[in-house]
């Protein structure tokens, strides 16, 4: 068993997931930049649902500002958080630009603005700018690798190890995530997370 869970959660580099890199890329392609600026921006209130499980996904979203979560809801109404998405992250389901039915919900945790990228527009961009295709594959690989690391952590690490790894990999969200959402991400109860935090000498919102 790997006893260094933080090493398991280091983000794989993704050019399209870096706001500054994406802007530089668009600036080097005038037509692509114009198409990007023409895409609709959606303003979301905290608690507003962007995507529901069972909906067919024909687009993906890029978080321009704010914080969202993707989560599962079981038959008993229990929630488990799949991922958190902040500025510069992509949100959606499946493998763009292939349409798929979402298996999870997406909700804004705070007032947010997302850029909607319909798959039809994405296919057009890829056709007009073939250099973007390797970057799309890079983004896919980064997301798949992150999900694989998460599954390995859930199966192979203790709750305390998972929490320490979470704090290392999500330090940029410190103070923005309510603890009950962190618990639902880690697969533990609120009480268990409070005990873990107490042992680590932590208190309040993390």
Q: Which residue did the predictor score with more confidence, 200 or 143? A: 200
104 found inside a domain:
yes
User: What predicted TM-score, i.e. pTM, was given to this entire model?
Assistant: 0.81
- Cα 131-41-143 angle, rounded to 5 deg: 50
CA distances from 101 to 57, 145, 192 (A): 6, 21, 34
138 found inside a domain:
no
Domain that holds residue 76: 15-130
Mean pLDDT value of segment 176-189:
96
160 found inside a domain:
no
4 found inside a domain:
no
Q: Is the predicted pLDDT of residue 21 greater than 50, yes or no? A: yes
Token digits of residue 117: 């990228």
Domain count, the chain: 1
Neighbours of 24 (CB within 10 A): 11
Q: What is the CATH number of the domain that holds 95?
A: 2.60.120.10
Q: What is the pLDDT of residues 94-147, one digit of tens each?
A: 888 889 999 999 999 999 999 999 999 888 888 887 777 776 667 666 666 777
56 found inside a domain:
yes
């Amino acid at each position: 068993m790997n006893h260094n869970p933080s090493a398991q959660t280091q983000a794989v580099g993704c050019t399209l997931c870096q706001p500054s890199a994406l802007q530089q890329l668009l600036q080097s392609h005038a037509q692509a930049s114009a198409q990007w600026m023409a895409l609709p921006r959606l303003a979301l209130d905290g608690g507003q649902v962007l995507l529901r499980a069972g909906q067919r996904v024909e687009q993906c979203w890029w978080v321009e500002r704010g914080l969202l979560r993707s989560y599962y809801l079981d038959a008993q109404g229990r929630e488990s958080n799949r991922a958190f998405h902040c500025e510069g992250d992509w949100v959606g389901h499946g493998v763009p630009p292939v349409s798929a039915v979402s298996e999870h919900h997406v909700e804004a945790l705070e007032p947010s603005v997302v850029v909607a990228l319909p798959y039809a527009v994405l296919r057009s961009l890829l056709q007009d700018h073939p250099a973007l295709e390797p970057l799309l594959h890079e983004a896919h690989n980064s997301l798949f690798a992150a999900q694989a690391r998460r599954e390995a952590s859930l199966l192979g690490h203790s709750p305390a190890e998972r929490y320490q790894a979470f704090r290392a990999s999500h330090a940029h969200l410190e103070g923005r995530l309510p603890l009950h959402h962190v618990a639902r991400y880690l697969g533990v109860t609120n009480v268990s997370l409070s005990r873990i935090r107490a042992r680590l000498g932590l208190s309040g919102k993390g």
